[in-house]
Amino acid sequence: MLKVCVVLWMVLLPLVLSAQVRKVSGTYTYYGDPNQSVKEVRAAAIENARVQALAKEFGTLLTQNTIQQEGIIDGKERSDFMQLNAAEVKGEWLEDLKEPEILREELANGVLVIEARVSGRARAISSEAVDFEVMTLRNGTEKRFADTRFKEGDDMYLYFRAPADGYVAAYLVDEQQQAFLAEFKAWLDVNGEGIFGSRPWKIYGEGVVKPTNSGSFKDNERLQESLSEKDIRFTQKNGRVYAFVLGFPTTDTVIIHALGKKSAQMNGKRIKKVRLLGCDKKIIWRQAADALHITMPNIKNTGKTVCIEIN
């Protein structure tokens, strides 16, 4: 008897409506933490002012990450179901109309207090109510074949039903692959900012990635080894673009042509800030007419995808 543990992870995506772009504004007073620098408190005040503006104009929504794990533990079948919910605004910040204003900056009882005001363009988003079902099936495609016990030669099917668009990732977990999932979670903790709640950018990316013939871990590892700093994928959220460099950079400079000042995507827009997620080191960058040139800081080569935030 094969003891199998299947982890199904589904992220349901909010839907962008064909809503008219609106002008919005908001003000927020942020009380800093003793461990935060003045720069960090200012940034937090500005970001919260944007969220306040979106919430005031569009309201809030609920996103949902659902994780289900089925398996056999100590000879007993077990199914764990967990839903992670987070309140988000029902709007997407597209751009600032002018530089954010700092209305107040003072120390109150040893706490740095900063009040910020922003104005910009935004559009509405929405999400459907989510209720989905998932299970593993043995030797059949109907729900009556639901099982987690498999013998050699059995066929396994994954059944799931959801009313909203999204994506599902399924893992057959053994002792060797548990380490992979732990590493993946650690990577998400750093780079999830550019994934959860994000939307596609104007283009999907740059570079060419050849698909593998199967979804095996070995094939995925070979694919990762073939990637370079030229293979880039984009998302966007709250007026920021996230560039995922699929291959860990092996050169000092990452060049992103779509973010050049005269590219069709930027059309003369200037970049204000560049940040490498999970890295506190200062990033040296230059936006030329043909591309954005980013000098990578001296960080450990993990061989994994890195994410760059562009404001």
User: Domain 190-311 belongs to what architecture?
Assistant: Sandwich (2.60)
Q: Give the pLDDT score at 126.
A: 57
Decide if 38 contacts 5 (C-beta within 8 A): no
Average pLDDT over residues 171-175: 62
pLDDT in tens, 130-143: 456 778 888 998 88
Mean pLDDT of the chain: 77
Q: Is the pLDDT of residue 255 over 90?
A: yes
Which of the 8 DSSP states describes residue 146? B
Q: Give the pLDDT score at 46.
A: 93
Q: Give the pLDDT score at 173.
A: 62
Separation of CA 199 from chain center:
9
Q: Give the pLDDT score at 174.
A: 62
Q: Is the pLDDT of residue 281 over 50?
A: yes
Name which residue leads in pLDDT, 60 or 141: 141
Q: In terms of DSSP bridges, do strands 15-16 and 111-126 run parallel, antiparallel, or are they unpaired?
A: antiparallel
Average pLDDT over residues 97-121: 92
pLDDT in tens, 199-249: 888 888 888 655 444 444 444 555 556 778 888 999 998 889 999 998 888
Q: Give the pLDDT score at 153.
A: 84
Buried b (16+ CB within 10 A) or exposed e, 245-280: bbbbbeeeebbbebbbbebeebeeeebeebbbeeee
Q: Give the pLDDT score at 84.
A: 43
Give the containing element (helix H, strand E) for 175. Answer: helix 175-191
Decide if 238 contacts 198 (C-beta within 8 A): no
At 131 the three-state DSSP class reads coil
Taking the C-alpha atoms of residue 266 and residue 258, their distance in angstroms, rounded to an integer, is 7
Q: Is the pLDDT of residue 188 over 80?
A: yes
Give the containing element (helix H, strand E) for 181. Answer: helix 175-191
Q: Give the pLDDT score at 259.
A: 95
What are the structural domain ranges in the chain?
A: 1-173, 190-311
pLDDT in tens, 112-135: 999 999 999 988 875 544 456 778
Task: Choose the weakest-confidence range: 39-53, 57-71, 220-234.
Answer: 57-71
Using the structure block, give the residue that is written with the tokens 């998302």: 235
pLDDT in tens, 78-93: 554 444 444 467 788 8
Q: Give the pLDDT score at 243.
A: 94
Q: In what order do the strands lie in the sheet with 60-73?
A: 76-89, 60-73, 5-12, 166-173
Average pLDDT over residues 172-199: 76
Q: In terms of DSSP bridges, do strands 101-108 and 133-138 run parallel, antiparallel, or are they unpaired?
A: unpaired
